[in-house]
Amino acid sequence: MSCCEECRCDRGIDFTKIPVTELYGSNCFSNAVMRERLPRNIYREIVAVQNGEKELSLEVADVVAASMREWAIAKGASHFTHLFQPLTGLTAEKHDSFIAPTGDGRILMEFSGKELIKGEPDASSFPSGGLRATFEARGYTAWDVTSPAFLKTDPTGTTLCIPTAFISYYGQALDKKVPLLKSIDALSKQALRVLRALGNETSKRVLTTVGPEQEYFLVDKEYYDKRPDLMLTGRTVFGVLPAKGQEMEDHYFGAIKERVAAFMRELNVELWKAGIPAKTQHNEVAPNQFEIAPIYLNSSASVDSNQLVMETIRSVARRHGMEGLLHEKPFAGVNGSGKHNNWSMATDDGINLFDPGENPESNARFLLFAAAVVEAVDRYALLIRSSVATSANDHRLGANEAPPAIVSIFFGGPLTEIFDNIVEGKSAGKSSAGGQIKLGVTSLPNLPKDVSDRNRTSPFAFTGNKFEFRMVGSSQSIATPNTYLNVAVAQVLSEFADKLESLPKGGEVSGRNEAVQAIIKESYGRHCKVVFNGNGYTDEWVREAERRGLPNVKNAVDALSVRIRGETSSLFETHKVLTKEEMESRYHIYLEKYSRQINIEAGVSIELARRYIFPASSSYAGALAGEAAALAAIGANNVPQAKRAKKISDILAELYDETAKLEAVLAEAQDIEDAPAQAKAYFEKVRPLMDSVRVKVDSLEKLVAKDFWPLPGYEELLFKL
């Protein structure tokens, strides 16, 4: 029963009694809804716009807006918002009501095509990296027709959310969506060139699809509210593991606790209503760590959906008395959280370009596109590493957990052997036709559906018909990693296409097949050094990667520097994704964000040490000293209380000195005006001193009685739900 028969909103409905088939997409203005509600010719126009075949006209937008308004109001919406993703990494929104005064004291509920297509939020406070002056406030949002509008509901009301791109008055990209959409077009253009050269005349567009597996922690809100570090930074700057951590791995895929299961049920309902195909959920390896994974969507819709997934995890958790943590490393000593970015390419007529297929022609196409990814990941490893460079992700990458900071590809034994055979000109091995590998002439061995195992240590693993990019941080927008990946692969495909298009027109099929084989042989032969099928956690791999010449960039400050190299600007300008100025602006924005995050964490460390740890530890040391004095008064000698009080006092003296050093170095870093120099100072000087302060505080936590310790410990945070 809805809360109000007039507004017909969904607040108060028991969704557990509604079939999922009816529930799914009920708050999403999807293509299925548009097909039902729009005139047939208008719907066809929208689909053509989505496919890049036409530009959206105001006349069509007016019809869509009217239908969207009626649909949203019928479900209780009173406001709409253009949802966009500025370079803060968060989602931004400004709400406008549908009301329009009539002049006689009444109102109409209106929403025009112009309002649907274009918004104008105040853009002055969003980071621009020097692209615009701070007093220039005008910015525009533009409707992204490839990502469906949806309704967001909460106890205060219902809002129509319209996914948009965000640009400046002069057209510069101020968000993560604009480059993503341009990169998708760039990759489609080059992939189609290759497909045409291979004889495909039917596919009109190549889409990228993404399915991001989202990891997160849940903690009881009672304990969260008593941890200023968690509230202000997203992670614990201090904390000692209890006697049991994750070493038993009994949490991994274990039975889901009732309280968490209730949270997950509501999370699924909220996501399903919004048309997000949440599919898989389970306990992760660390205590109180979990994962949710959706079915694939087109990249643009997937980016928007993942932003909503993160927001919904937090909001639903609070309704259940918990807090959702999305930081990459909220707890030292247990695994952090990533976001496995499952990326693939498919044509508009249903061909997955990374599906090995069952015949020589599809095998040849698969191997050619797979070889392009290998070359792209090898040539642009630093760029790909840069796409996941954040201060939070520094705690994961290269820290003996998935994945290492070395960018490599996992193919598995069978597929690697096939590529090696092509390079070496060896026999195809077991095959229906036998003989030498001649793509499309004689048969390749039929490739099994799963041509490789899964390698959890690989940052970039082929997993059957897609690539799993495992370096993305759990709190990151997936827009930038997918943008950079699209551009890198587009460049390699453009070079493949140049070679194939240089063949004589109307030549023999055998000549084309030989050219394809030559491209695969040359490309994979030069770039196979990036393929590694072993354990990426070992020291041996670090040494082997160095021998192969693969970069190992362990910190974000160094990783971000590739963005201002001339070849990077040239690459992005060639494919019309980002200008040199836009790329440089993002470099400075992300450096500043890095510095600000460390600055906050260092400030929290100092604050906690002085206002929480010092008083509590001193009180306990005083209590111990009092007990020791009382025992000494009755003749006791060498009492342990005195020894313990002395040890605590000694550590407190050391903590005082380390905190003073941190404060001084922090002040020096804050005074540096040059963004790269400041970020380097935060990395090289501030972070090490933060670690030193932490060592002292954690030593005290092991000595101070729990009743005296001012912060909930890891035992409460990781095991009590």
Distance CA 85, CA 91 (A): 5
- 322 versus 103: the higher-pLDDT residue is 322
Q: What pLDDT is recorded for position 243?
A: 83
Q: What pLDDT is recorded for position 444?
A: 47
Contact (CB, 8 A) for 409 and 461:
yes
State the average pLDDT for the chain. Answer: 89
Helices (H), 640-720: 640-670, 675-681, 687-703, 714-719
Q: What pLDDT is recorded for position 266?
A: 94
Q: Residue 507: which pLDDT band, with cuts at 50, 70 and 90?
A: low
Q: What pLDDT is recorded for position 78?
A: 93
**Tens digits of per-residue pLDDT, 428-453?**
444 333 334 444 433 445 555 555 55
Q: Where along the chain do its domains lie?
A: 15-120+141-164, 185-578, 592-719
Residues 6 or more apart from 611 whose CB is under 8 A from it? none
b/e burial code for range 481-505 (CB count within 10 A of at least 16 → b) = bbbbbbbbbbbbbbebbebbeeeee
For residue 257, give the DSSP letter: P
- Reference 564, options 547, 546, 579, 543; nearest CA is 579
**Tens digits of per-residue pLDDT, 29-44?**
999 999 999 999 999 9
**Tens digits of per-residue pLDDT, 523-563?**
999 999 999 999 888 889 999 999 999 999 989 999 999 99
Whether cis (ω within 30° of 0) applies to the bond prior to 551 is no
Three-state SS across 300-341? Answer: HHHHHHHHHHHHHHHHHHHHCCEEEECCCCCCCCCCCCEEEE
- Reference 242, options 150, 353, 355, 334; nearest CA is 334
Residues 6 or more apart from 694 whose CB is under 8 A from it? 237, 238, 332, 605
Q: Is 80 exceeded by the pLDDT of residue 505?
A: no
Distance CA 82, CA 93 (A): 6
Distance CA 322, CA 301 (A): 28
DSSP strand pairing (409-410 vs 460-462): parallel
Q: What pLDDT is recorded for position 400?
A: 53
pLDDT-wise least confident of 452-466, 545-559, 571-585? 452-466
Q: Is 80 exceeded by the pLDDT of residue 399?
A: no
CATH number for 185-578 (one of 3.40.190.10, 3.30.590.10, 3.30.70.60, 3.40.50.920): it is: 3.30.590.10
Check residue 66 and give left, alpha or beta (phi > 0: left; psi -120 to 50: alpha): alpha
Q: Residue 107: which pLDDT band, with cuts at 50, 70 and 90?
A: confident
Q: Residue 156: which pLDDT band, with cuts at 50, 70 and 90?
A: confident
pLDDT-wise least confident of 15-24, 33-42, 451-460? 451-460
> What sign has the CA pseudo-torsion 665, 666, 670, 674?
positive
- Helix, strand or coil, per DSSP, at residue 100: strand
Q: What pLDDT is recorded for position 8?
A: 44
Percentage, residues of the chain above pLDDT 90: 69
**Tens digits of per-residue pLDDT, 58-94?**
999 999 999 999 999 999 999 999 999 988 888 988 8
**Tens digits of per-residue pLDDT, 162-214?**
999 998 888 888 899 999 999 999 999 999 999 999 989 999 999 999 999 99
Token duo for residue 247: 């070493």
Token duo for residue 588: 């400075």
- Helix, strand or coil, per DSSP, at residue 398: coil
- 450 versus 257: the higher-pLDDT residue is 257
Q: Is 60 exceeded by the pLDDT of residue 6?
A: no
Q: What pLDDT is recorded for position 4?
A: 45
**Tens digits of per-residue pLDDT, 608-660?**
999 999 999 999 999 999 998 898 888 887 788 999 999 999 999 999 999 99
Fold equal for 185-578 and 592-719: no
- Reference 517, options 434, 615, 419, 446; nearest CA is 419
Q: What pLDDT is recorded for position 537?
A: 85
Q: Is 80 exceeded by the pLDDT of residue 674?
A: yes
Mean pLDDT across 92-116: 86
State the CATH architecture for 592-719: Up-down Bundle (1.20)
